[in-house]
Structure 1
Amino acid sequence: MKKYYLIYALASGLFIQPVLAQQKKTTVKAPIAKATTKPIVGKIIPNDPNVIIGKLPNGLTYYIRKNTEPNKRAELYLANKIGSLMENEEQQGLAHFTEHMAFNGTKDFPKNEMINYLQKAGVRFGADLNAYTGFNQTVYQLPIPTDSVEVFKTGFKILANWAGKVTMDGKEIDNERGVIVEEDRQRGKNAQQRMSNQLLPFLLANSQYAKRIPIGKVEILNSFTHDKIRSFYADWYRPNLQSVIAVGDFDVKEVENLIKQNFSDLKNPASPKTRINYDLPDNAQPLVKIATDKEQPYNVAQVIYKQREGSVKTDSDYKKSLIQSMINNMLAGRIQELTQKGGAPFLFAQSTYGSYQGGLVWGISALTTIAVSPTTAGLDKALKAALAENERMAKFGFTAGEFETVKKKIEAGMEKQYKEKDKTKSAVYVQQYLENFLTGSSIPSADYRYAETKKILTTLTLTEVNALAKTLVTKNNQIIVVQAPEKDAKDLPTEAQLIAAIKTAGNGVTPYVDNTVNKPLIAQMPTAGKIVSETKNDKVGITTLVLNNGIKVILKPTDFKNDQVIFTSFGKGGSSLASNDDFQSAENANLVAQSGVGDFNPTQLTKYLAGKTANASAYIDSEYQGFSGSSSPKDLETAFQLIYARATNPRKDVDIFNKNISDFKVITANKNSSPTSVYADTVQAVMANYHKRGMPTTLQDIDKISLDKAYAFYKERFADASGQTFVFVGNFEVEKLKPFITTYLASLPALNKNENFVDNGINPPKGKVSKTVYKGLEDKATVQLMFHDDYVYNADNNIQLDALKAALEIKILERLREKESGVYSPGVDLSVQKYPSAHYYFTISFNCSKANVDKLINAALEEVNSFKVNGATADDLKKFKSEEARQEELSLRDNGFWLGYLSNRLKYGDNVEQLLGDKQRLDAVDVASTKAAAQKYLNGDNYIRLVLVPEK
């Protein structure tokens, strides 16, 4: 029941996202806008002394910092203070198009040579090498190894080529048109885009922002003459609007010299165009816009209270931003609590203060309140309920208890961040310097943030917090937006009713009552058990403990993070053990885990844990049940207590359960409005071969979900801990962990059932299957081509499949995107499983126009057949091996990698020393082995073709 993810994705659809040239989405705050000039209040925050900030004679700014996390790596960025707002009428979309062209040929790297060179150096296209374009900025990112002098130096050469040496070859421009049109198709051609087209001119007040959406206009993209994009590049890609950011494991003086050598010869235009900062107008009266669409599944209302606010530059700004974070946290807690109660009038609600439209409009922030209603008729009621929390906050403020709780949370987060200051990733610093260049925001050091936050928390009063909270609900600059299904348009609240909802939302509100539970998490401490055996494996650095109740505990101490311990556990069984009559309830037993623990509902548990950096949750999936979580070393006992409490004292909450079931019904009833939802359900059904236990959930299925059965199943799954295996990775000492292990794990109940999961036969169909779904209003098709079969699961076979997947992905991208210009970001996915039955799945997927479906499928299959005849090319295998080796270097110093690696090896009964043979297995991959793998795994005997096209 991924309910809130689905609704939140819908509710956040109003935000305009920057346009990415490659496949990876990067979330970066956009620069802030020109606002009314205000006097500086407070002391200017000093810049971190560890960053060197300089400027070349031509105006290019640079930031350099030495940082060794990760080792032998650097993050190189080229930031440009230019975006779609700089385009003229004939250039709409060409800022983004220019970004694409930077990867299609420069003076020193013709055509695709840049990408080929970097891939052979272990840099992944899309995942590492990337770029994005917004209204005001275009940013290129290049993570690169520093242990190769030649590769590292070439990185700066690449940045300089982007900055001023893109060739803009006419043939390459024309080839790229189709790719960008397909990018627009992949990201849009849906209800969200159609509603955005209705809403954006309104939200952006018909300003220059509304006229310069980064993706541009398809008709211009298809027809602009080459001189238009060349002029844009010549006018705007200039050093006085550019910055080079370099953070990593390198010599600072050497990097400064490399920047001077590569960028000093770049010239500004003789008569540079003025770079204008655009603004949005104020509005004294509420503005209302209602948008409907045939494929919109939910009723969403949003109220925005806009106000002008610049970036954080002074200690006063810093204090204000800290208080705003506290307000967001406390307000979110209240709405979460309201959502959990029976009778909440919305499916989802939130109220948050932050940058307007996701930070893409300069200098404007807003309190944004969203309510998703189960019915059109109840939309104004849902909205009023969410707005009432704003009014309750403004009228009565927050309580002393809430204030103390949030201070503990802020302090705990600050302490954790400070402890990790020497383990901060280079990418984190890059974002700080990027913000400084684009918006002028400060670059405080970790020491400054720690000391300033501590000082503020010591002196801050509840009165100050409540005074600022009151200002967030403004009387002017109010905007109301409604999105709803077209069929319900006549039943929607009128503009007058929506405005009245704002004005009357505070009627009758009373002060918030804090319901903190003042009890211990565990009422009676358990009787400690014993460790019955201990073994060590120095090759992978682990200690294995066996407890008296049969639990195994694997411990891997690391120094990768100073303040992190992460853990997971698994025991065989899961929902596979439920009968066919009860599996719906069993599959939703996780609702019990989401209901809190013992006497603590989720809100009360959050308050109890304030000030502690520890969490532990329980899960039940199809084959396993267990626990997962994380902790600061100082709060490890709390994490162990949470494990014990979730295993022995789960909470049965009728209100939370009924609210989730009610919401789930609404979502299920409405989901068929969305073509992607209908397609996803079809894919799920086909891949389960229409097995009942693998089918999409229906309303009739939901009616079979019983709280009593779900609760009983949860308790039964955790009644026998004898089959559990725990894995702990992070900064701890084994001996100091043992008392927690004996007290809270060795005391868990054990029935010694020696359980296993059941293979219920949910398998994909054998043979050739083709299924086409006809759903959707616009010319957008989705294609998945799947090769699958039973499989001998082992490390040797896995690496051959990985190599085949990586090489095929390169060729599919080259063929479908570069040669055919028919797609934007095709994907090749590989999934292998050992249990409940060993199977592999190769999936080629892409979006395209309906007319190109058959042509592009045939092109993809031609590439597959080429692999069966010739295998992968030696060049592509070199890229694969280099990327694998580079990624393993990073993985071996990552706690998350080790947690996943150890738990998977133990789940599958593999040798935990398996990774020690990775190099030998990688060396065994060659052209002949990939040819044999293609003939075996891509033979087409079991081939599934799944296509979504618009309605006939």
Structure 2
Amino acid sequence: MTIHFRITSLSILVCASLAAFAQTSSKHSTDLPLDPAVRTSTLPNGFTYYIRHNEEPKNRVIFYLANKAGAILETDEQRGLAHFMEHMSFNGTTHFPKNELVDYLQRSGVRFGADLNAYTSFDETVYQLPLPSDQPELLQGGLQIMRDWAHEAILDPVEIDKERGVVLEEKRLRKGAAQRMRDVYFPLILNHARYADRLPIGVDTVLNHFKPATLKSFYQDWYRPDLQALIVVGDINVDEMEKSIKAKFSDLKNPVNEKIRTIYTVPLTGKNQFITVTDPENKNIAAEILIKHPEEPLRSAADYRNFIIRSLFNEMLAARYAELTRQADPPYINGGATIMNFINSLDVYSANITARPGELEKGMKALWRETIRAARYGFTEPELERAKKNYLNLVEFSFKERDKTVSNHFVNEYLQYFLKGTPAPGIAEEYRLTQMDLPTITIKDINAICKTYIRPVDRDILITAPEKEKAGLPRQATVESWLAQVEGESLKPYKDEMSKLPLLSHEPVAGKTVKEESDEILHTTTLTLSNGVKVLLMPTDFQNDQIMYSGFAPGGSSLYSDADYPSAAYATAVTGVAGVGNYTASELQKYLSDKQAGAGAEISEHYQTVSGGCIMKDMETALQLAYAYFTEPRIDKPLFDGFVRRNKASLANMANDPNVVFADSANAIWNQGSMRRSGPTVAKLDQINPERALEIYKERFADASNFTFVFVGSFKIDEVKPLLEKYLGGLPSTHKAENYKDLGIYPPEGRIEKTIYKGAASKATVRLAFSGKFDYSPAEKIQLEALQEVLQIRLIERLREDESGVYSPGVGQMVTKDPDPRYMFTISFGCAPQNVDKLVASVQDEINKLKISGPPQINVDKYKAEDKRSRETALKTNIWWFDYLVTTLQNQDDLHELTTYDSDLSKVSPASLKAMADKYLSGENFIEMVLLPEK
């Protein structure tokens, strides 16, 4: 279960969809029509439903139950109970008492948290349930769950008291600098509206002491059919589903004395406000300028055109700020500005920076200068044309993929349509409107946006900083004077510089295919090119126009000394800030803005890699990028110096954050203090030699003969083969046949316990790790995954449901094959400091049970059901096959190992997992790390 906030820290969440600019005004005659592919109606009791047939993925359906009831409707005595009610829907309903609902769904292959979930926001509570649709009884079970969630929660006082601990632990996880500062500035930036004191997580006094009757009162008032909608999208029969919904939900009744569902707003005052907030654990000095504006309507075709205009404005403005960040002497660590939805009835122009220490004035002036430049001079025709082409490309891509669109996408569209009235006309209509509107949008239309949103009233300035910076923070008059100074400057219009050179400084000399092999089982083709490059091709029809690729060779930073390591580790960053081929980094962004192609280089510990993706028409561009990253890296010393300054500034106050300190301590222990496995530090940045970094980069990519490329997606081999021969076959080769080195960096042997004291919040973080050598095989990997899952299931039952001591315990495992087969098995959770020893003992008790008698058969069955169902859909995606092929090739495993998967899975049993627990959870090599607040 999760809580959704519209506002987090200094930033406001941006939706990359129409919902970003939606508003809740009443409908009128020019409204865009609802997508005709969805069937919708409202029952006499006010209950609404949306049903759509969609076969991506096949044999799956997604149910969403939406309630227009969130934290904003709570009384003072109910603060936090909208979210608490969400929890209770999983803890006992008419047809699924106590925790039977989760148990029932896990046995059906649905994972709690990952699949089965819910969220509570200010204005709504939404439940989600994905199910297999090829079992009629399970489909009907899903409808019964939706009915139970709609208004059949039992609200047993015993279960309520048990769940208090879980909700309080969820709240505990949020404690820290961000929460403490937000509590201070929220009332101001929300103009002291009701939203400011209705955060969905609630308050301790209510959560600890509310009476069950108070929760029931909220439930009776607001969980009612006229505020609810059921959304069903998937591989189902729409007619039959509609009949079932009518039969199941028509008898729901609204309360006799219905409370009015008030629509709350944040009023505009016309005033400008200012606030500074500090905290000892805050890492950065940040500033945000928020200019509030009434929310723009998005209902009609005319509104849609305005939505496109705002989207183009945001894209062009973001490009300018990104370019500013890439300067040789960037004025801040990062920054940007955008128009977005603020909360409910308001939009906002938000300009924000993370400042370098001691340079808040410089950063804020630079931030405001670009805003004023845009307001004063507007944008240029080339900028607009690039933005238009990019926007059209994205909409066109969605249109082409319309028959491959996953059900989740449709569910979210109809959810926003119900909750906020956001248009959901369907991609065909959006594509038609885009084609119609884009040619008519002019620079004048774009520049008018500035006059609307960049205005001198309803402006808030928010500055957050570490506590130690408090004395040096400016007052409101000082900051206002900075902005006024910028407004008084004789600014020059933005100069749009775009290279007219080709991407590559020279054309490659094409190679040839010297060998071609087909795999009839995997339906792949492997080409060996004349320079030694191997290319594995897997054409698929999972998407209509998507290609993913990666080329890799062994070696990486492992081949360099500790003295050279910083230069090797940052080599791709050093070259990346300078660009590639004939283009600087900024020129490259402009060049690619109207193309759907991308690539990048990486040097990891064991591999050097060039990876990217594209659509078919931009395949040549993607391969040109790959060729350029191999043969034409650039270096720019001033840009490198700017990169180092920005990164040093971002590290200045990292030690303030307890989580960073804890993670660094854990890494130091798990990796025996190796600087190669630790995070970024100022010392590492100081050790980077840019010339040596470029030299190492060239060494890593000088020999393509050891590279293997994998391409997965919608392409025809005969069409891509000439391009592959030209750009990959033309890569340089020395046939050096390198391999990576075993650096011997492994977790220490024996038992280690370490407690870190850092932070003020009353919370603890626990990480337990088992490690050692692994008997590597496909079957053994499956057994370890099963052990992970059955322990995860049991820890949720024990630590969360039985003991109410944690919110979400996590169990993880990682296996590496080369250079030495190893495993790490981890368990982590957050809790109250006083409960650490008790909960660690409970974990150890559950592990001992596994070692003594193995897991219950039911938990093994749950794992197999979940794995089977998730695998069915994963096998129909490009990303699964891409990851599988790359990982299997890097491990030099048999590409056909998946053919034995089902038989290996069938061998998982309580006895096999008992043996695995004995073998890998013996505790012989065990690390216990605990983070506690400072005493």
TM norm structure 2: 0.97
Q: Is the CA contact 2:20–2:341 (under 8 Å) kept in the aligned structure 1?
A: no
Residues paired across the two proteins, number: 928
Distance, in Å, in 1 between the alignment partners of 2:453 and 2:651 is 36
Aligned residue in 2 for 1:560: 542
Q: Does 1:348 align with 2:330?
A: no
Matches within 5 A, 1:245-264: 245-264=231-250
Q: Is the CA contact 1:34–1:277 (under 8 Å) kept in the aligned structure 2?
A: no
Aligned residue in 2 for 1:486: 467
Residue of structure 2 aligned with 1:583, choices 565, 571, 595:
565
Deviation at 1:836, TM superposition (A): 2.9
Aligned residue in 2 for 1:335: 321
Q: Secondary structure at the match of 1:276?
A: coil
C-alpha spacing 1:865/1:16, structure 2 compared with 1 (3 Å) = farther
Residue of structure 1 aligned with 2:905, choices 899, 909, 922:
922
Deviation at 1:837, TM superposition (A): 2.1
State the AA in 2 paired with 1:602.
A
Aligned residue in 2 for 1:687: 670
C-alpha spacing 1:30/1:61, structure 2 compared with 1 (3 Å) = farther
Matches within 5 A, 1:707-746: 707-746=690-729
Distance, in Å, in 2 between the alignment partners of 1:198 and 1:52 is 46
Q: Secondary structure at the match of 2:704?
A: coil
Q: Secondary structure at the match of 2:754?
A: strand
Q: Secondary structure at the match of 2:699?
A: helix
Residue of structure 1 aligned with 2:216, choices 205, 215, 230:
230
Q: Deviations over 1:172-206 (max 9, x none)?
A: 000000000000011x2210011011111112222
Aligned residue in 2 for 1:569: 551
State the AA in 2 paired with 1:210.
A
Residue of structure 2 aligned with 1:281, choices 255, 264, 267:
267
Q: Does 1:308 align with 2:294?
A: yes
* Structure 1 stretches lacking a partner, 5+ long: 1-8, 19-24
Q: Does 1:527 align with 2:523?
A: no
Deviation at 1:31, TM superposition (A): 10
Distance, in Å, in 1 between the alignment partners of 2:485 and 2:409 is 44
Aligned residue in 1 for 2:382: 401
Aligned residue in 2 for 1:13: 9
Aligned residue in 1 for 2:587: 604
C-alpha spacing 1:30/1:228, structure 2 compared with 1 (3 Å) = farther
Distance, in Å, in 2 between the alignment partners of 1:695 and 1:127 is 30
Distance, in Å, in 2 between the alignment partners of 1:26 and 1:124 is 27
Q: Is the CA contact 1:556–1:730 (under 8 Å) kept in the aligned structure 2?
A: yes
Q: Is the CA contact 1:685–1:696 (under 8 Å) kept in the aligned structure 2?
A: no
Q: Secondary structure at the match of 1:82?
A: coil
Deviation at 1:17, TM superposition (A): 8.3
State the AA in 1 paired with 2:77.
E
Aligned residue in 2 for 1:22: none
Matches within 5 A, 1:125-204: 125-186=112-173, 188-204=174-190
C-alpha spacing 1:311/1:868, structure 2 compared with 1 (3 Å) = farther
Aligned residue in 1 for 2:830: 847
Deviation at 1:927, TM superposition (A): 0.7
State the AA in 2 paired with 1:452.
L
Q: Is the CA contact 1:311–1:440 (under 8 Å) kept in the aligned structure 2?
A: no
Distance, in Å, in 1 between the alignment partners of 2:204 and 2:11 is 21
Deviation at 1:310, TM superposition (A): 4.3
C-alpha spacing 1:130/1:27, structure 2 compared with 1 (3 Å) = farther
C-alpha spacing 1:43/1:28, structure 2 compared with 1 (3 Å) = closer
State the AA in 2 paired with 1:90.
E
Distance, in Å, in 2 between the alignment partners of 1:196 and 1:382 is 22
State the AA in 1 paired with 2:530.
N
Residue of structure 2 aligned with 1:887, choices 870, 874, 877:
870
Structure 1 window deviating more from structure 2 (683-692 vs 861-870): it is 683-692
Aligned residue in 1 for 2:373: 392
Deviation at 1:590, TM superposition (A): 1.7
Q: Secondary structure at the match of 2:187?
A: helix
Deviation at 1:890, TM superposition (A): 0.6
Q: Secondary structure at the match of 1:505?
A: helix
C-alpha spacing 1:307/1:136, structure 2 compared with 1 (3 Å) = same
Matches within 5 A, 1:73-112: 73-112=60-99
Aligned residue in 1 for 2:485: 504
Q: Secondary structure at the match of 2:676?
A: helix
Deviation at 1:168, TM superposition (A): 0.2
Q: Is the CA contact 1:101–1:173 (under 8 Å) kept in the aligned structure 2?
A: yes
Q: Does 1:116 align with 2:112?
A: no
Deviation at 1:715, TM superposition (A): 0.8
Aligned residue in 1 for 2:441: 460
Deviation at 1:28, TM superposition (A): 12
Q: Secondary structure at the match of 1:46?
A: coil
C-alpha spacing 1:636/1:313, structure 2 compared with 1 (3 Å) = same
Distance, in Å, in 2 between the alignment partners of 1:600 and 1:522 is 9
State the AA in 1 paired with 2:407.
S
Deviation at 1:231, TM superposition (A): 1.0
Matches within 5 A, 1:375-386: 375=357, 377-386=358-367
TM norm structure 1: 0.95
Instruction: Calculate the aligned-residue CA RMSD, in Å.
Output: 1.8
Residue of structure 2 aligned with 1:68, choices 55, 73, 84:
55
Deviation at 1:284, TM superposition (A): 2.0
* Structure 2 stretches lacking a partner, 5+ long: none
Deviation at 1:844, TM superposition (A): 0.6
Deviation at 1:32, TM superposition (A): 6.4
Deviation at 1:669, TM superposition (A): 2.6
Q: Deviations over 1:839-861 (max 9, x none)?
A: 11111100111111111111111
Residue of structure 1 aligned with 2:882, choices 893, 899, 904:
899
C-alpha spacing 1:26/1:108, structure 2 compared with 1 (3 Å) = farther
Q: Is the CA contact 1:30–1:136 (under 8 Å) kept in the aligned structure 2?
A: no
Deviation at 1:30, TM superposition (A): 9.1
Q: Secondary structure at the match of 1:693?
A: coil
Aligned residue in 2 for 1:595: 578
Distance, in Å, in 2 between the alignment partners of 1:135 and 1:707 is 50
Q: Does 1:831 align with 2:814?
A: yes
Deviation at 1:550, TM superposition (A): 1.0
Distance, in Å, in 1 between the alignment partners of 2:271 and 2:46 is 44
Aligned residue in 2 for 1:213: 199
Matches within 5 A, 1:406-805: 406-506=387-487, 507-591=489-573, 592-805=575-788
State the AA in 2 paired with 1:919.
D
Q: Secondary structure at the match of 1:672?
A: helix
Distance, in Å, in 2 between the alignment partners of 1:410 and 1:28 is 14
Q: Is the CA contact 2:335–2:352 (under 8 Å) kept in the aligned structure 1?
A: yes
Q: Does 1:946 align with 2:929?
A: yes
Deviation at 1:79, TM superposition (A): 0.2
Deviation at 1:656, TM superposition (A): 2.7
Q: Is the CA contact 1:593–1:619 (under 8 Å) kept in the aligned structure 2?
A: no
Q: Is the CA contact 1:51–1:65 (under 8 Å) kept in the aligned structure 2?
A: yes
Distance, in Å, in 2 between the alignment partners of 1:473 and 1:692 is 47
Distance, in Å, in 2 between the alignment partners of 1:214 and 1:653 is 49
C-alpha spacing 1:246/1:696, structure 2 compared with 1 (3 Å) = closer
Deviation at 1:745, TM superposition (A): 0.4
Residue of structure 1 aligned with 2:839, choices 849, 852, 856:
856
Deviation at 1:13, TM superposition (A): 2.0
Distance, in Å, in 1 between the alignment partners of 2:506 and 2:680 is 41
Deviation at 1:128, TM superposition (A): 0.6
Q: Is the CA contact 1:379–1:493 (under 8 Å) kept in the aligned structure 2?
A: no
Q: Is the CA contact 1:31–1:435 (under 8 Å) kept in the aligned structure 2?
A: no
Matches within 5 A, 1:288-327: 288-327=274-313
Q: Deviations over 1:850-874 (max 9, x none)?
A: 1111111111111111100111111
Deviation at 1:396, TM superposition (A): 0.3
Deviation at 1:490, TM superposition (A): 1.1
Deviation at 1:407, TM superposition (A): 1.1
Q: Secondary structure at the match of 2:811?
A: strand
Distance, in Å, in 1 between the alignment partners of 2:624 and 2:283 is 42
Distance, in Å, in 1 between the alignment partners of 2:267 and 2:898 is 59
Distance, in Å, in 1 between the alignment partners of 2:472 and 2:566 is 35
State the AA in 1 paired with 2:381.
A
Deviation at 1:34, TM superposition (A): 6.2
Q: Is the CA contact 1:380–1:497 (under 8 Å) kept in the aligned structure 2?
A: no
Aligned residue in 2 for 1:269: 255
